[in-house]
Amino acid sequence: MQSIAEDKFQMVVLSFDSTDNAQTLSKLAGYSKVNPPPSNWIFAVLPAESREELAASLGLKWEKLGELYDHNSLLLLVSTEGKILQRVEGLPSNDQWNRLFREITHEFVPVYSTLGENIWTSCFRYDPASGTWRMNWGLLLILIPSVATVCILLILQTIIRVDATKRL
């Protein structure tokens, strides 16, 4: 039985090691005959003739060290038109996976995560324990110019009124 997620997107796992095959890649991803990958997962090995060009165009950095490959991990969210929508270097956290999945299914994503957990200039902070968003100091930084402008206008209007009543 196919899950809803499997209807929404394809997961493509590519290797540039010519000794790999789909079965090996599936095992590396944690799947087996008893626990097969979802039907939307595709495992493939890049052909040698396109390996260099594709790796360079995607920003994949790799180097062969003896029999092993040293490389960065790269997750790309690609539209059906072939446009790269998101690029995540390294292994994504659960929050990143959830955000990417919501984007794939065209759900609204109100806030994107920033580097680090305690950035005081962020406008909102997510509390994973309660699952809620709370205002943060960064929102105040955005509001200060607006509030200051309204205060200055009110003061100027008061000064002009007082000056106008003295003339009468």
Residue 38 has a CB neighbour count (10 Å cut-off) of 11
119-151 pLDDT tens trace: 667 777 766 667 677 788 888 888 899 999 999
81-132 pLDDT tens trace: 777 777 777 777 777 777 777 777 777 766 555 545 566 677 777 666 676 7
Mean pLDDT, the chain, rounded, equals 78
pLDDT of residue 1: 45
Question: How far is 58 from 11, CA to CA, in rounded Å?
Answer: 16
Task: Decide: helix, strand or coil at residue 10.
Answer: coil
* Residues 15 and 62: beta-carbon distance below 8 Å: no
Q: Are strands 62-65 and 74-78 parallel, antiparallel or unpaired?
A: unpaired
